Structure 1
Amino acid sequence: MAALYHYSSEAEIIRIGEGFFDRALPKAEWTHGAHWAAAFWLICKRPDIVPERDMPHLIRRYNVAVGGENTDTAGYHETITQASLIVARGFLAAQTDEPPLHALCNRLFASPFGRSDWLFDYWTKETLFSVKARKEWVPPDIKPLVL
């Protein structure tokens, strides 16, 4: 599978991570790839942050800063966020070497999780797009989320 996203330097990942954290990353750059880059940056470079605990607040404040909203139908989504962090941590733990962050992102992009629709391997659209799943963790209803 050809990767849709590709990063060529550690500096790109740092810029995305810091830009997200500082709410300075342009909204147009908050892509599927940037979500993964920010997650890896937070997990690997910010030991003062617990992504599973802190990401909801960070995403909500970023959304507002770039003109978005956090409602029952838009903005922050708890199930997607927590699922992505489960995958990110599992993916990082499975690595047998310690490549730079951009190489880790590119590896993930080449995997099934690099597809923007990867969640539908685990959740039905009805479940994933429910208000409940947006507001709280809802377990997969197709198959378990295991790496």
Structure 2
Amino acid sequence: MTEYSPRLFTTDGEIEHLGEGLLACTLTRPEWTHEAHLAATTYLEQRRPDISLDVELPGIIRRFNESVGGVNSETEGYHETITRAFLYGVRLFLADADGSAPLHRLVNDLLKSPMGRRDWPLRFYSRERLFCVEARLTYVEPDLMSMPRS
């Protein structure tokens, strides 16, 4: 697996900015990093129970991508399987996390955990399966091993 040092957050406001900015399509493209994806997802999962992420997250991300000039196609933009894998990972992490911790601390702990690693889905998917057109457009099951249960 690839080693990296995630960008950590210092305030809950940073996380709220990412979550609400994703919804409002007010983030800039450079703000939409791996860390921002997980921070926004954690924010939405924790603070926006009015949004059904299982149903609405794909459209939210597609709309944001288009708002910054991106394209959602067979080769770029929204990726269904990666999104579902990381949403699962966020929920798996939160199931065992200290729910009373400040939001930015939760996100930082997530980013430092296995579920926060950029290459986390590759523990379960071969590169060929994860990066095929079918996996981008629809959810495909892992081919290396099942996702862990909480």
TM-score by length of 2: 0.93
Post-superposition offset of 1:121 = 1.1
Kindly report which structure 2 residues correspond to 1:64-103, keeping only aligned pairs within 5 A, or say none.
64-103=66-105
Q: Alpha-carbon deviations, 1:82-119, whole Å to 9, x = none? A: 11111111111111442111111110111122321221
AA paired with 1:135? L
AA paired with 2:15? I
Match of 2:62 in 1: 60
Contact 1:36–1:105 (Cα < 8 Å) also in 2: yes
User: Structure 2: which 5+ residue stretches go unaligned?
Assistant: none
Quote the Cα distance in structure 2 between the aligned partners of 1:96 and 1:115: 20
Match of 2:126 in 1: 124
Contact 1:3–1:109 (Cα < 8 Å) also in 2: no
Relative CO higher for 1 or 2, CA cutoff 8 Å, sep ≥ 6?
A: 1
Post-superposition offset of 1:135 = 1.1
Quote the Cα distance in structure 2 between the aligned partners of 1:14 and 1:26: 15
**Is structure 2 residue 138 aligned with structure 1 residue 142?**
no
Q: Alpha-carbon deviations, 1:29-75, whole Å to 9, x = none? A: 10000000110111111111011110010010000000000000101
Contact 1:3–1:114 (Cα < 8 Å) also in 2: no
Structure 1 residue ranges (4+ consecutive) displaced by more than 3 angstroms after TM superposition: none
TM-score by length of 1: 0.94
| 3-state SS of paired residue (1:145) | coil
Identity %, equivalent residues? 43
Post-superposition offset of 1:2 = 7.3
The number of aligned residues is 147
Contact 2:62–2:78 (Cα < 8 Å) also in 1: yes
What's the Cα RMSD here? 1.4
Task: Flag the 1:43–1:66 CA change in 2: closer, same or farther, 3 A.
Answer: same
Quote the Cα distance in structure 1 between the aligned partners of 2:105 and 2:44: 16
User: Structure 1: which 5+ residue stretches go unaligned?
Assistant: none
